[in-house]
């Protein structure tokens, strides 16, 4: 029976998530209340009985490492199971940071060789989806491929954002374009690969060290060489949550019955011991409180009104406060009379009494990061304070650990930055 080793890429900087990824790795960003983004790939591995692998970390890895631990929460355990954390390491001459997806795997060829797996499953730790990797692996084996790439059709007007694959109509890959201006098809690579180990070694060993990425370098070279490359078309829910807008909308998809995301059916696992979530009491909703179309996690205490929102464990919403169309993370407090609307509130934030955070307007793009925040959302960083009676306009960013002294007045105009 062929054996498989998982290489889970989790070192991405997540710069477009701005302050949400400023002090944590992108795959460690909380999602849908109790989960982390990386939980979805790990849970897919668990369901496919893939119990051997490595997690390649780099930027701000502490919270990710604490969350993943040794992988036991996703059944990377037992006599033959393991999940190793693989950070960049000191080379002979200098410190070699991972310079791209292919370079990250290249730097760990010794790890791969040690376990002598027949196939290497390369995954990304920053996508929200449920995929049956067993069917993916069966397709790879049946076609005797050197590499099989998970793909999905996208609207042609969005195709330039992806690596685009051309096939012969029977699944054989005949062309590949990395984020082309004029795409030849709408079949997008999901950045999920199965390589035959020998083929992967040959390609990475032959790759110039200046070429560091699977999509930009390895895959096009394999096409040029005429390797047996197969497309595996996926037709389920899949989202790349690499921007603030996509992260926000994908979270709220959890609340939409027709979105395609089904956390209960997907049986997503997480680490409930980290941050002591398993010790929290059930959510408490006081008489007179109102909760409408929302996800409320354990340990929450709701005295006010919550609509179409997602609350992580330990959130407090005091009497007279309201949270609408928003994401509020672990142990944040929304004080009496405060309003939070179309906002993302990170962990341990204190929103003061009668404060107004967010609005229905799009406003002006954020002045410091217009490409990150332009749709009207407000983002408040971890361990920040929003003082009582302060109003934050659309596209405002409050940096992590902001104090009351950082606010110049009671009205913070659209697009401003508190830091």
pLDDT (0 to 100) of residue 88 = 80
Secondary structure (H, E, C), 270-293 = CCCCHHHHHHCCCCEECCCCEEEC
**Tens of pLDDT along 289-299?**
999 999 999 99
Percent of the chain with pLDDT over 70: 98
pTM of the model: 0.95
Residue recorded with tokens 């109102």:
290
Which whole number is the average pLDDT over 124-134?
A: 95
Percent of the chain with pLDDT over 90: 81
Which whole number is the average pLDDT over 385-405?
A: 98
Confidence of residue 89 (pLDDT cuts 50, 70, 90): low
Which whole number is the average pLDDT over 167-173?
A: 94
Which whole number is the average pLDDT over 258-284?
A: 92
Q: How far apart are CA 316 and CA 335, in angstroms?
A: 8
Taken in order of first residue, the domains within the chain and their CATH numbers are: 4-253 (3.90.550.10), 280-418 (2.160.10.10)
Q: Which two structure tokens, joined as six digits, stand for 400?
A: 């992590």
Cβ pair 392, 375 in contact under 8 A: no
pLDDT (0 to 100) of residue 274 = 77
Q: Is the pLDDT of residue 94 over 50?
A: no
Confidence of residue 29 (pLDDT cuts 50, 70, 90): very high
Q: Which two structure tokens, joined as six digits, stand for 277?
A: 């979530």
Closest CA to 56 of 113, 22, 102: 102
Which whole number is the average pLDDT over 289-318?
A: 98
CB-facing half-sphere around the CA of 263: CA atoms within 13 A? 18
């Amino acid at each position: 029976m062929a054996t498989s080793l998982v290489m889970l890429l989790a070192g991405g900087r997540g710069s477009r998530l701005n302050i949400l990824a400023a002090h944590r790795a992108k795959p460690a960003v909380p999602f849908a209340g109790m989960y982390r983004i990386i939980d979805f790939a790990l849970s897919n591995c668990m369901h496919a009985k893939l119990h051997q692998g490595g997690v390649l970390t780099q930027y701000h890895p502490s919270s990710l490492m604490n969350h993943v631990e040794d992988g036991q929460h996703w059944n990377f355990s037992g006599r033959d199971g393991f999940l190793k954390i693989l950070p960049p390491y000191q080379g002979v001459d200098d410190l070699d940071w991972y310079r791209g997806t292919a370079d990250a795997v290249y730097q760990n060829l010794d790890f791969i060789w040690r376990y002598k797996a027949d196939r290497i499953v390369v995954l990304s730790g920053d996508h929200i989806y449920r995929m049956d990797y067993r069917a993916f692996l069966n397709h790879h084996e049946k076609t005797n491929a050197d590499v099989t790439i998970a793909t999905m059709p996208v609207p042609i007007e969005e195709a330039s954002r992806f690596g685009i694959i051309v096939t012969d109509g029977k699944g054989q890959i005949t062309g590949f374009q990395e984020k082309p201006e004029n795409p030849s098809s709408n079949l997008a690579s999901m950045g999920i690969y199965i390589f035959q180990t020998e083929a992967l070694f040959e390609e990475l060993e032959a790759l110039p060290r200046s070429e560091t990425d699977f999509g930009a370098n390895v895959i096009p070279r394999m096409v040029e060489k005429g390797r047996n490359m197969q497309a595996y078309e996926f037709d389920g829910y899949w989202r790349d949550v690499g921007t603030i807008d996509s992260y926000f909308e994908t979270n709220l998809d959890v609340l939409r019955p027709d979105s395609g995301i089904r956390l209960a059916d997907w049986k997503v696992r997480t680490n409930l011991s980290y941050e002591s979530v398993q010790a929290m009491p059930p959510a408490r909703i006081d008489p007179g409180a109102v909760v409408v179309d929302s996800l409320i996690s354990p340990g929450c205490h709701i005295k006010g009104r919550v609509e179409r929102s997602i609350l992580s464990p330990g959130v407090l919403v005091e009497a007279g406060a309201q949270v609408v169309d928003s994401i509020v993370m672990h142990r944040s407090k929304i004080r009496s009379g405060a309003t939070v609307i179309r906002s993302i509130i990170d962990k341990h934030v204190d929103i003061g009494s009668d404060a107004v955070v967010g609005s229905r307007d799009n406003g002006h793009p954020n002045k410091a990061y217009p490409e990150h925040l332009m749709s009207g959302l407000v983002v408040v960083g971890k361990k920040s304070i929003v003082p009582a009676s302060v109003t934050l306009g659309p596209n405002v960013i409050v940096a992590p650990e902001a104090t009351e002294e950082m606010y110049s007045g009671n009205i913070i105009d659209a697009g401003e930055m508190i830091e």
